[in-house]
Structure 1
Amino acid sequence: MPVSGKPAPSPTAAPAARTASPLSLAVLGLGVFLLVLAPLLAWYVTPRAKVTPVDVDVTTVFTGNGSYFDTAALKTRDRRRITITRHVLGDVAASEKSGRAVWDVSTTVDTPQTLPLKDPRRAFQWTTERWVTDRRSNAPVHCCEEAPTRFDGDAYLKFPFDVQKTGYRWWDNTLGAAVPLRFAGTQRVQGYPGYRFTGTVPPTRTGSRQVPGRLVGRPGQGQIQAEEWYANSGIELVVEPRTGRIMQAVLSPLKTLRAPGARRTAVTLLRGERLQFTPATQRAQVRLARADSDKLALVGRTLPVTAAAAGGLLAPAGAVWVVRGRRAAGRS
């Protein structure tokens, strides 16, 4: 016999979940990521990429004509080839320990007689220095057994990053002081553009040296302390603007001796007539400058702009796609 009563309610289907497609979520997520990445590259990564390298091993060579004092013949040799070789080697261990850029610099001045010897101890002149600078500002740092300890100025082996069209103070190790440089326009080095800076050093007494009196016009005296004088009639430096690397350098140094208290030069020790980077050195410096500049441009400009543009397109498109997907799911 059938059982009387209310019919059982028919089961109802559960409402469909409003979900977006995985692809739309991926597009939205990628767009947001790129929008966050753009300022991160520009404001966080780029400043940390603009640091002076510590693992440097670079040799630059200047050549040109000039004069030098031949100590064997006790006379000045004119119209001879002068070669200046500078080797810069980074002290990586000291740099990592101190957080600074520590560079050891060896500079030799050679004549046609000393150059073939290939021995800095037998060069016409040999100096060694140890430069310590802040890796971001290029300012001198007085630590880590630096030499000379009076090092000052804005630039020496390189200029600061993002070089401006203004004056700088370039450290002249022969003078033992910073030399004011002025911006003198632009110049291409091996076809690559750079900023040109110029300056001069007026005749300045830099020290003394014991020499025979007759050498400086005092034959009646034995050994005397002659005055050492230095001048530079033309300093020209062409700098890559973004990195501060020097791509071309021209120097015209003049080192002389005077008798104590005298106003005239008695002996010309060294005169350089526009000693400048050799073409090989120019090409090497331009190659390094171009590579470093391209890296900074990639991190500081190309990637942030590209990321911002791509993120600006993908994030809104992904958001619209997600909303439409949910609405379509809701209507089904």
Structure 2
Amino acid sequence: MRRTTSPFSLVLLGLGTFLLVLAPLLAWYVEPRAAVNPIDIDTTAVYTGKGSVFDTDRIETVPDRKITVTQRVRGNVEDSERSGKTVWDVTTTVDTDKSLPAADPHDALEFIPHRWVMDRKTTRPAHCCGEKPYIEGEAYLKFPFDVRKRSYQWWDNSLGDTIVLRYRGTEKVQGYTGYRFTGSVPPTRTGTRMVPGSIVDQPKRPQVLAEEWYSNHGFELVVDQATGRVLYAQTGPRRTLRAPGGKKDAAVLLDSRKISFTTETQKEAVRQAERDSGQLRLIGVTLPIGAAVAGFVLAVLGGVLVARGRKEPEQPTPSETPDTPQPTLTM
């Protein structure tokens, strides 16, 4: 008897081996390269809250006003492809009901355009492509992928510096669980502004180079662990003016204990986080495990079939053919 290998068993063995090789490639090679910050982003986040604002018509601070902060982020695809980095152009407007709706964002209470450039994989700031201001830290607008349970250096654009956001456990946003981080900013001088002297309690001086001060009652961010996307954001800005060398605030420009994501912004952030984290989980976990299990089963089955083979009887050779009596010719 001799053994022959079935083509079917070879196919099973080859397919199983391929899946076993594919599984770690998906987890260790494909998934990390899929976790990159997009260059074609176009998204808008809206915050609302109440607080005090400086009314330029009345030349005084007015309390209990609705405050709306609109932050639009658009990717600059051309500069991103040229630099190999992620280039996002960001505009932030601060409005009251008095300036909404505005045909021109420059009519807002505050209008702040800037550009953020980052590494596509790590989210670390990259300094090129007309970046303004010079952003530092580990995170801004979003966290890195695969968020850890630790403190992060978060860029506060109003402060012009980084602050520490500390991990505070998990919290649900619209039914979706994320990591919660909090932080605050003590009163800090951030610059100067030329204003009428009467605004900073110096009525005898027509113009004064007043000091601008900024603090924050508290930041609260809830972040998707897989993608680093911010699901919920809350801030409590306070911006004031002081006379040169003054020890106390002379005028309040903006003060709110809580300005936070609207419900619509939360829902959209959760929707995108579910989609993106689901894709990463599919590539990095579900498919590798499935490929490894299926590959192991097919490889074992194919190997067993190859080892056992199929027995076939051997054909006798001419030399092994026994002599047979030859018929006798008779006349």
Q: Do residues 171 (structure 1) and 155 (structure 2) align?
A: yes
What is the CA–CA distance in structure 2 between the aligned matches of 1:132 and 1:195, rounded to whole Å?
A: 24
Alignment-mate amino acid for residue 35 of structure 1: L
User: Displacement, 1:96?
Assistant: 1.2
CA displacement, residues 15-38 of structure 1 (integer Å, 9 cap, x when unaligned): 97x432222111111100000000
2:111 & 2:47 partners in 1: Cα distance? 14
2:293 maps to 309
Within-5 A mapping of 1:52-131: 52-131=37-116
* Equivalent residue number for residue 248 of structure 1: 232
Superposition map of 1:1-332 within 5 A: 18-148=3-133, 150-326=134-310, 328-329=311-312
> Cα offset for 1:118?
4.0
Tell me, in whole angstroms, the C-alpha distance in 2 between the residues paired with 1:118 and 1:163: 39
| 1:31-76 deviation digits (Å, cap 9, x = unpaired) | 0000000011111101101111111000000000011101111011
In the alignment, the residues of structure 2 paired with residue 147 and residue 219 of structure 1 have an alpha-carbon distance, to the nearest angstrom, of 36
Q: Secondary structure of 1:117's match?
A: coil
Instruction: Give the residue type in structure 1 aligned to 2:60.
Output: K
Q: Give the 3 Å change call, closer, same or farther, for CA 271–329 of structure 1 in structure 2.
A: farther
What is the letter of the counterpart of residue 141 of structure 1?
A
| Amino acid paired to 1:255 | R
- Name the SS for the 2:172 alignment partner: strand
Q: Is 2:43–2:73's contact at 8 Å kept on the other side of the alignment?
A: yes
Structure-1 separation of matches of 2:280 and 2:290:
15
Query: Is the alpha carbon distance of 1:136 and 1:19 closer, same or farther for their aligned partners in structure 2, counting shifts above 3 Å?
Result: same
CA distance in 2 between counterparts of 1:233 and 1:106 reads: 23
Shift of 1:330: 6.9
How far apart are residue 291 of structure 1 and its match?
A: 0.5
Query: What RMSD in Å do the two structures reach over aligned CA positions?
Result: 1.3
**Structure 1 counterpart SS, 2:22:** helix
**Gap regions ≥5 residues in structure 1:** 1-14
SS across alignment from 2:131: coil
Give the match's secondary structure for 1:105: strand
Paired AA for residue 284 in structure 2: G
Aligned length: 315
In the TM superposition, what is the alpha-carbon distance from 1:116 to its structure 2 partner?
1.7
Rounded to whole Å, the distance in 2 between the matches of 1:284 and 1:312 is 40
Give the conservation status (yes or no) of the 8 Å contact 2:217–2:257.
no
